[in-house]
Structure 1
Amino acid sequence: MATFGRYEILDKLGEGAMGVVYRARDASLGRVVALKMLSADLGGEEELHQRFQREAEAIGRLSHPNIVTVYDVGEASGQLYMAMELLEGDDLRSLIEKRAAIALADRVRILLQICTGLAYAHSRGVVHRDIKPANILVGSDGRAKILDFGLARVSARSTITRRGVILGTPDYMAPEQAMGKGVDRRSDVFSAGAVFYEFLTLEKPFKGKTLHAVLYQIISDDPEPVLTVNPEVPVRLASIVHRMLRKDPDLRYGAMEEVARDLSDIHAALRGSGGRSTLPVPAAPVSEETRARVRDRVAQGRALLDAGQADRAVAEMKDALRLDPSAEDAADLLWRAGRKLHDGRSVAPALDPESERRVTDLLARAAPGGAEGDMRSAVAELVLIAPDDPRVTDLLRERSGRHRR
């Protein structure tokens, strides 16, 4: 059996631009790990070695239930390595390719876990830089974990580059990354948005047939609206994805925590709707003190709903679910309060004059007969500005019908 340092090599798991991953056993602990070794052809690049070592050490300090655990980082026989938690399950790439039957609420829960894992890494100064479906694994317990921070870099440090190699998957790369500019956590927001788009629609947002065609689309073209590809996606969820995919980083969500807050509201409503879960819910420890606070908020929410104050009941239940996302009674009450609040609003809220002019202009641009790229751009902006406007809803319904034909 081949050995590498204190590790016994069992079999090869995969290979990427930065190195090879093996299933290996830590002889000193008897633990089976995923052992990633830096590619041999990089052996002479001392600066890259040093930078990889710094980044691997930063990743090793990350500890979060939605990030793969790094056990050991070091060098043996002149080669850098990283020993990581070995995970069993399906990555999002395989789930997408086999069109796995996953309830929408479960899909949103997976997206929410990706958000919380990335938000934690960003809070520690680590940007992933290569978020893609193959780097997100869903375990048998229903927990999503982000893999392969091997391309990550610590914020404010130099970008890793190599002769002729793009470090990052082009299909999910942010525009600024595709143009060789500096990246930050908002670049991960864009890449996550591209993954979310594909997980919800089963189609990639940028469909160029060559590397350069994909990069051009990422930089210049808006993707087909989510609701055109999959009309079953809630409008608010589609709006979140399109905001994540804005070309200008300043127009995206500024942080994954913001995405998580918006997704948590949608997830709670979907759970409260009574849809059947198709994945197990990962256990999360909740203290008795927190449970008591949640019970108090639920009781207060019921009283507010009975008193006809549905808006305040919704706010109470959102707070309760932030304390304990597994609180089923809070999710149920949020759904009932949300429905009551929605039923009391028979029309979409009026737009201010400037927004109304913009919507009118965009509706004209989105009308059949124009350039497809311009139409897609107009529809994407309409979903952001006026998702509840009946004119926008009708337009999306019409486009989804044409897409299916």
Structure 2
Amino acid sequence: MKCPQCQTDNLPDSRFCHKCATPLPQDTSNIISLTESFQAYIRELSRGTVFAGRYEVIEELGKGGMGRVYRVFDQKLQEVVALKLLNPEISFNSKAVDRFRNELRFARKISHRNVVKLYDLGEEGFTHYITMEHVDGENLKRFIKRSGQLTPAKAVHLALQVSEGLTEAHHLGVVHRDLKPQNIMIDPEGNARVLDFGIARFTDSEPLTASGVMIGTPEYMSPEQIDMKEVDARTDIYALGIILFEMLTGRVPFEGETPISIALQHKSRPPRNPRELNPQIDPALAGIILKCLEKDRGRRYQTAKDLTADLSRVLQGMPTTEVNAAKRASAGSREITVTFRLRKLLIPGLVVLVLGAAVAARFLFFKPAAPAKSHVVVRSESVPGPPPAPSRERSESGLWSRLSGEAKKYINPDELSKMKDAQYVMESLKKVVMSDPGLSQSLDRAIEKTKEVKKHEEEGRLDLAQQSRRESQTQMQELMRLVAQRQEVQSAKDDMHRAKALAEQASPSRKNLLFLVAHGEESSAEDAVLQNDFSGAKTLYGVLKKVYRLSQGCPNDQACLKALQGYTAGLVREVNSLDRRRIDPWTYDFAGEIIRQAEAFHGQKQLENAAASYIQAAFLYEKIKEQASPLTN
């Protein structure tokens, strides 16, 4: 078919000129009225209804170009699955439906930990639907919007998981064709799960409608898709390159006001080096991204397996602490790193297995300490009281206030032009934060940028000097954020020490059960501070403050444990009154398991371990309350 505008030959069924983007005339002689069929089509489902005689609708999860997605209970399989109700324009395309049925035979064979399993294509009247595995969590697009730029280690960790899933799918001959962040779920354990393998077969032969509206997401489409050429595994590799670019920079490589303008950039415009947008990206990692984004697919990675190998090498070359942090589970929008220590590791075997699996997947609770660090409860009149706070601790609040004031001088735009003064201020701050590794590293990065400013100015490269100045300011703002959190932790710690002092005055000769257990758990909060988990440390100090207060009115150990049970029971009631949609189900279930473990210890008269378990459960419930609060989301 010739284009009426440029006279270029196009394929007979083309809807849009591949050269000048002019809509092509369409043969409408075979179009029939579908009014009656559309009237019979089910466009949406109501909560509580049973669809197709087996799927009880729990809630709507979202809607997109292909239709609405629901979380449903499959009464036949007795499990929760996801159900995608397809739009009528897709359901009534018999060729697309037949094509997908054929693709489904292969897509259903994909069995990989990073791929969401596809179950079936069903039909109810005039309505087609797809069922698949349901995954809790959020999609990568929302994760990026919430987090901004991901750390290189986190981005590579997720990209590696996606690439491993692609390797398995491509081995079975299945190409995704519509890989994008919206089709990648981040589950509660922080792992990537790829959705919708094979589903793009519904639309991949018609990327443009008769009116020139593009079907699909142009930001992630490869040049061959835009040219309506045959796709293969390298198409998915191109899309993954864009996703990796976006994770590291917070933006896609090609942007435009219309889908067509974006599509044309994919065909003709080379992508920017991602290091121009994020200098923290390793050159080797930037090279991987640019290789994925080659216009000529012959110059890209030829297989996902090759890409996986290079991503693995880059991840192995990163600092161990960054890699471990990247692999850590995602607890809602925050990570919890607080580690508790049980005093007597006499946990029943079955419970050890259950908790051990949970710990490996999520947090590091119940980690046995080395003998030198284990907290053994010694019941003796000679147990010393809490040591007086060292002078450094007593002056810490003032120290953080001073640091905050000095840093604000630097962040003031009027001060930014005085780089000599700024460098002096920052060197002064260095002496203040030298004892805090997290703050010291952040300040080191800012100081390095001030040195770059001076160097660029001496060389007359004012544009680079300005860029380094902005980056230095960003580093200082990050330092300020850490300082603010650190000051909140210190305030919570001071409050705890005041409660502890009052508890000691109430019973100077004998420390009861709650006092001793709380005293032992203080080191868990200190460990969290060393890991820069200021949120977790602040929460734990708050819990310990309440435990010290409870200890003041306990005549004996049984009364102590009863008071602690009452505290945790109150937290359970508070959490149960919250909007369940805002509660991380994993943390909620795990807290319940800790409560049951505490009750088991109590029944075995292991009162110290019971008290420690109740404190751990209280910590989790307090975190749930924080995360479910609208003010913290």
**TM-score, normalization: structure 1?**
0.65
Q: Distance in 1 between matches of 2:92 and 2:277?
A: 47
Q: Give yes or no for the alignment of 1:188 onto 2:236.
A: yes
Task: Confirm or deny: 8 A CA contact 2:242 2:293 kept in the other structure.
Answer: yes
Q: Distance in 2 between matches of 1:45 and 1:161?
A: 14
Q: How does 1:222-237 map to 2 (within 5 A)?
A: 222-237=270-285
Other-structure match for 2:185? 137
Deviation at 1:209, TM superposition (A): 1.9
Deviation at 1:163, TM superposition (A): 3.9
Q: How does 1:143-292 map to 2 (within 5 A)?
A: 143-153=191-201, 159=205, 163-164=209-210, 166-272=214-320, 277-280=325-328
Other-structure match for 1:92? 140
Q: Distance in 1 between matches of 2:243 and 2:92?
A: 35
35, 41, 49: which is aligned to 1:2? 49
Q: Give yes or no for the alignment of 1:107 onto 2:131.
A: no
Higher relative contact order (CA 8 A, sep 6+): 1
Task: Confirm or deny: 8 A CA contact 2:234 2:301 kept in the other structure.
Answer: yes
Q: Give yes or no for the alignment of 1:64 onto 2:118.
A: no
Q: Distance in 1 between matches of 2:322 and 2:64?
A: 42
79, 93, 100: which is aligned to 1:31? 79
Q: Distance in 1 between matches of 2:323 and 2:75?
A: 47
- The CA RMSD over aligned residues, in Å, is 2.8
Deviation at 1:11, TM superposition (A): 2.2
Q: Which moved more, 1:161-170 or 1:261-270?
A: 161-170
Other-structure match for 2:171? 123
The CA deviation string for residues 172-226 of structure 1, in whole angstroms up to 9 with x for no partner, is 1001111222111111111111111001111110011211110111111012211
Q: Distance in 2 between matches of 1:182 and 1:279?
A: 36
Aligned amino acid, residue 76 of structure 2 = S
Q: Distance in 2 between matches of 1:146 and 1:198?
A: 17
Q: Between Structure 1 and Structure 2, whose CA radius of gyration is higher?
A: 2
The CA deviation string for residues 208-245 of structure 1, in whole angstroms up to 9 with x for no partner, is 12111101111110122111110100000000000000
Cα distance 1:279–1:273, how it changes in 2: closer, same or farther (>3 A)? closer
Q: Which moved more, 1:80-89 or 1:10-19?
A: 10-19
Q: Distance in 1 between matches of 2:162 and 2:279?
A: 23
Task: Confirm or deny: 8 A CA contact 2:233 2:303 kept in the other structure.
Answer: yes
Q: Give yes or no for the alignment of 1:40 onto 2:83.
A: no
Cα distance 1:69–1:44, how it changes in 2: closer, same or farther (>3 A)? closer
Aligned amino acid, residue 85 of structure 1 = E
Cα distance 1:277–1:204, how it changes in 2: closer, same or farther (>3 A)? same
The CA deviation string for residues 325-363 of structure 1, in whole angstroms up to 9 with x for no partner, is xxxxxxxxxxxxxxxxxxxxxxxxxxxxxxxxxxxxxxx
Aligned amino acid, residue 84 of structure 1 = M
Q: Distance in 2 between matches of 1:400 and 1:184?
A: 41
Cα distance 1:12–1:274, how it changes in 2: closer, same or farther (>3 A)? closer
Deviation at 1:75, TM superposition (A): 2.4
Gaps of 5+ in 2: 1-47, 331-455, 471-633
The CA deviation string for residues 249-292 of structure 1, in whole angstroms up to 9 with x for no partner, is 1010101111100010111111546665054269xxxxxxxxxx
Name the count of aligned residue pairs.
290
Give secondary structure in 2 for the equivalent of 1:111: helix
Deviation at 1:148, TM superposition (A): 1.8
Task: Confirm or deny: 8 A CA contact 1:103 1:277 kept in the other structure.
Answer: no
Cα distance 1:3–1:226, how it changes in 2: closer, same or farther (>3 A)? same
Q: Which moved more, 1:101-110 or 1:47-56?
A: 101-110
Give secondary structure in 2 for the equivalent of 1:127: coil
Other-structure match for 2:528? none
Task: Confirm or deny: 8 A CA contact 1:228 1:399 kept in the other structure.
Answer: no
Give secondary structure in 2 for the equivalent of 1:149: coil
20, 39, 55: which is aligned to 2:68? 20
**TM-score, normalization: structure 2?**
0.43
Q: Distance in 1 between matches of 2:179 and 2:207?
A: 17
Deviation at 1:29, TM superposition (A): 2.6
Cα distance 1:223–1:123, how it changes in 2: closer, same or farther (>3 A)? same
Q: Distance in 1 between matches of 2:204 and 2:65?
A: 18
Q: Distance in 2 between matches of 1:116 and 1:158?
A: 23
Cα distance 1:88–1:128, how it changes in 2: closer, same or farther (>3 A)? same
Q: Distance in 1 between matches of 2:239 and 2:97?
A: 26
Task: Confirm or deny: 8 A CA contact 1:103 1:275 kept in the other structure.
Answer: no
Other-structure match for 1:286? none
Other-structure match for 2:410? none
Task: Confirm or deny: 8 A CA contact 1:34 1:86 kept in the other structure.
Answer: yes
Give secondary structure in 1 for the equivalent of 2:325: coil
The CA deviation string for residues 11-56 of structure 1, in whole angstroms up to 9 with x for no partner, is 2222222232111110123211110122123343221221122223
Q: Which one has a larger percent helix, Structure 1 or Structure 2?
A: 2
Deviation at 1:138, TM superposition (A): 1.2
Aligned amino acid, residue 210 of structure 1 = T
Deviation at 1:93, TM superposition (A): 0.6
Give secondary structure in 2 for the equivalent of 1:231: coil
Q: Distance in 1 between matches of 2:66 and 2:101?
A: 13
Q: Distance in 2 between matches of 1:183 and 1:58?
A: 16
Deviation at 1:160, TM superposition (A): 5.6
Q: Which moved more, 1:73-82 or 1:86-95?
A: 73-82
Q: Which one has a larger percent strand, Structure 1 or Structure 2?
A: 1
